[in-house]
Amino acid sequence: MPRFESEKLQETLIDLLRSNEREKQLRDENAAILAGISAMAGANNKRQVFNSLLSVLRKYIGFENAIVLTREDEASPLQELVSTSPVFQSSIWDVSSTFIRCMNGESIVLFSPSRVEEFKFRESEQLNLCQSALLTGVKVSTGDALLLFMHSEHGQFTPQCRRVLDRFRPLLERAIIDIDYRERLQSLVAARTQELTYSQQRFKDFANTVGDWFWEIDTDLCFTYISAPDLAGHIVDDDSILDMFDEQDEVRQQLLDKLNTQKPFEDVEWQLPESEGGLWISISGTAFFSKQGKLLGYRGTAKNITNRKKRMFELLEARKQAESANKAKSEFLAMMSHEIRTPLNGVLGLMDMLADSGLDNTQQTWLNQMDQSAQLLLTIINDILDLSRIESGNFELYCSRMRIHDCIDLVISQLREQALSKNITLTATIEPSVPEYIEGDKNRIAQIMFNLIGNAIKFTNEGSVTINAKVENGQLRVSVTDTGIGIAQDAQKNLFTPFSQADCSITRRYGGTGLGLAISQHLINKMNGNITLQSELGKGSCFTLHLPYSCCEIEANCEQADSKQTNDRALNILLAEDSHTNQLVAKLMLEKRGHKVSITNNGEEAIAEFENKPAAYDLILMDISMPVLDGLQATQELRSRGHQVPIVALTANAMYSDKVMCEEAGMNDFIAKPIQASELEATLLKYQS
């Protein structure tokens, strides 16, 4: 009996110990479950929830990797929701009997997963991590979920592990449901964020092409959004944006070409029919794409630009009127130049004849003053024509090989008498650094020199005017320094303005139009140079011209002899001129130089006279503007009949374009009225030789 009781007592003690161990295990498991629930409650994302679950189960199950698979309906495969290894990321699992048993609540241990249907066709990389497996499933609100534990060695999971899963099922269900909920919440947030980004991009695109009307079309060019279908009284009820343009095929094709480029475009202009007011609409837009770069459609705006088009039309009309007025001004100035030059030619020519008629000193003085006044009038006419051509844009430079020495010498020779009459010393220094020959428009450079040196003499009453030419910093630098009246600082800013002078008072001492410096600056700018001024009132001024230049090579056989060729051979000249005064002037000037002159009144008479005696004439002086047949037509007719007699234009149309027309008509030379004796002699000398 005592023995029996002793054994009974031992069994009771063993049961008590086992009960204590179970209670301790339950307390540990409950503590682990509570800790896991607490950790999951503080998790911020599905990954933290998953890690919290695994940290609890690792104390009871020896696994290396784990994965949660889910599906939304029974017909779909399982997809990876979260895993510990990137090998299983985004993996898809077909569902067979083993997975179905697990998703129905059963926990299963697989000692050789590769033999199970669901694992047969897994990639080798995944199978290497899954030599042993422990599976269980739970139901979630949106479908099924399966929890899979893996080990890379065989036989790592025992029935005890399966029982642990059963005991921890409430925690498993809570964790998987939480993971699934957070995943869906995250997906929803991502979708809403994408929609918000899409909306922001839409309105950003709208803002970039802001207008009166917003539109959006898909890739088939059909409307998906219209902010206001009533566009400036036009109802937009078409499915395709291209259908809005009715029969305006050009606008339709233009818009289609813009859309096909998939680039932002602006201001495709479209006019509504007259029945709807004839308003002008401007369409702008841009393509928009998905995150993956796929074209989704186009969006943009339309604006009512009727007022803008009206203003543009008014500006265009105003521009045409301004251009027409400018053309009329140029034509008027050219006409006035011709009309003034024609009688001026008679005045200067007759004064030239009168100078050799035996006048006494007093009469000669009067005649010189008359000549200076006439020359001043001619200068004013030339300045106004130059300014008109510059302002109208019909002005070009004509560059050739030239010597800067010749330009300065020419101007000094013309102005020396003026300087001597005022007892002013006029000197020029050309330093060795100046090249012998440069490329440039010699006539315009001489014109600039004439304006600068002429002004210096004009505004200097005593002292000197000095010209210095040198090369400095890669530019030709010509300075004109005088000891004249100087220019006040406040007057210098308007000095290069047309028709402006430093002294604009009625009683100013010095005359002039105020065009010389303005024209000079225009010419210098055209040559890519600049002009500077240093001046002090009462002490003089210094104008400095800075011009870029390029040197010209001098051929050995191109050196000109100092001595001029002379030939006294008399010429038989046929003169075609409609003005009786100019006939008289030309005849007197030519006969004074020993030539014989025959006179005709128009081009038709000149042709008839020449063909009557073609061998009798060495030269034809042909006026351009004549009745019946003008000089250009007469020249063309003579050339068409094979006559090669030299023909020299004699005209009051003194523009360069007139000279070009004369050359194109077949003329050999060009003399502008009023006829200058030196120019006439130089021209005749060519044909005397």
Q: What mean pLDDT is predicted for residues 176-186?
A: 73
Check residue 559 and give its pLDDT: 42
Q: With bands split at pLDDT 50, 70 and 90, how would you rate the model's confidence at 253?
A: confident
Structural domain boundaries enclosing 407: 396-548
440 shares its domain with 525: yes
* Biggest CA pair distance of the chain: 186
Q: With bands split at pLDDT 50, 70 and 90, how would you rate the model's confidence at 504?
A: very low
Inter-residue contact 260 to 239 (CB < 8 Å)? no
Report the residue count for the chain. Answer: 689
Inter-residue contact 78 to 92 (CB < 8 Å)? yes
Tokens of 468: 């210095």
Check residue 508 and give its pLDDT: 47
Which residue has tokens 């020359």?
375
pLDDT digits 0-9 by tens, 44-97: 677 777 787 788 788 888 899 999 898 888 888 998 888 989 999 889 999 999
Q: Rounded to an integer, what distance in angstroms lies between the CA atom of residue 348 and that of residue 372?
A: 10
Q: Rounded to an integer, what distance in angstroms lies between the CA atom of residue 456 and that of residue 428?
A: 13
Check residue 2 and give its pLDDT: 62
% of the chain beyond a pLDDT of 70: 79
Q: With bands split at pLDDT 50, 70 and 90, how would you rate the model's confidence at 31?
A: low
147 shares its domain with 217: no
Q: Which of 262, 280, 309 is the last residue of a domain?
A: 309
How many domains would you assign to the chain? 4
519 shares its domain with 606: no
540 shares its domain with 580: no
pLDDT digits 0-9 by tens, 255-296: 888 888 888 888 788 787 777 677 888 888 889 998 888 899
Q: What mean pLDDT is predicted for residues 631-652?
A: 90
Residue 402 has pLDDT above 50, yes or no: yes
Q: Is residue 502 part of a domain?
A: yes
Residue 36 has pLDDT above 70, yes or no: no
Give the chain's mean pLDDT: 80
574 three-state secondary structure: strand
Tokens of 444: 């315009």
Residue 564 has pLDDT above 60, yes or no: no
Question: What single string gives the DSSP state of each residue in 582-613?
Answer: HHHHHHHHHHHTT-EEEEESSHHHHHHHHHHS
Residue 429 has pLDDT above 50, yes or no: yes
Q: Is residue 155 part of a domain?
A: yes
Tokens of 265: 């475009």
Cα torsion at 220, 224, 226, 230 (round to 10°)?
60
Check residue 5 and give its pLDDT: 67
479 shares its domain with 530: yes
Greater pLDDT, 513 or 446: 446
534 shares its domain with 628: no
Return all residues near 244 (Cβ < 8 A) that are at least 6 apart: 234, 236, 238, 270
Cα torsion at 192, 196, 199, 203 (round to 10°)?
170
Q: Is residue 30 part of a domain?
A: yes
Check residue 558 and give its pLDDT: 40
Q: Is residue 360 part of a domain?
A: no
CATH of the domain at 233: 3.30.450.20
Q: Is residue 343 part of a domain?
A: no
Q: Is residue 314 part of a domain?
A: no
Check residue 667 and give its pLDDT: 92
Residue 472 has pLDDT above 80, yes or no: yes
405 shares its domain with 478: yes
Q: What mean pLDDT is predicted for residues 619-635?
A: 91
Q: Is residue 621 part of a domain?
A: yes
305 shares its domain with 215: yes
Return all residues near 36 (Cβ < 8 A) that are at least 6 apart: 52, 53, 55, 56, 171, 175
Residue 191 has pLDDT above 70, yes or no: yes
26 shares its domain with 121: yes
105 shares its domain with 239: no
22 shares its domain with 170: yes
Return all residues near 145 (Cβ < 8 A) that are at least 6 apart: 68, 69, 70, 81, 103, 137, 138, 139, 176, 177, 180
Question: What single string gives the DSSP state of each residue in 420-443?
Answer: HHTT-EEEEEE-TTS-S-EEE-HH
**How many Å separate Cα 360 from the centre of its chain?**
70
Check residue 37 and give its pLDDT: 59
Check residue 555 and give its pLDDT: 45
Q: Which of 280, 309, 338 is the last residue of a domain?
A: 309
Inter-residue contact 276 to 248 (CB < 8 Å)? no
Lowest mean pLDDT among 71-75, 424-428, 478-482: 71-75
110 shares its domain with 29: yes
Lowest mean pLDDT among 31-45, 71-85, 309-323, 624-638: 31-45
CATH of the domain at 78: 3.30.450.40
Q: Rounded to an integer, what distance in angstroms lies between the CA atom of residue 141 and that of residue 139?
A: 7
Closest CA to 263 of 223, 298, 302, 222: 298
Q: What is the Cα gyration radius of the chain?
A: 52
Greater pLDDT, 417 or 174: 417
Cα dihedral sign, 36-37-40-46: positive
Q: Which of 515, 548, 581 is the last residue of a domain?
A: 548
Check residue 557 and give its pLDDT: 43
Q: Is residue 134 part of a domain?
A: yes
Residue 385 has pLDDT above 70, yes or no: no
Cβ count within 10 A of residue 546:
18
Check residue 229 and give its pLDDT: 66
Check residue 633 and give its pLDDT: 93
Q: What mean pLDDT is predicted for residues 236-264?
A: 81
Q: What mean pLDDT is predicted for residues 356-361?
A: 77
Residue 675 has pLDDT above 50, yes or no: yes
CATH of the domain at 614: 3.40.50.2300
Cβ count within 10 A of residue 219:
12
Check residue 637 and give its pLDDT: 92
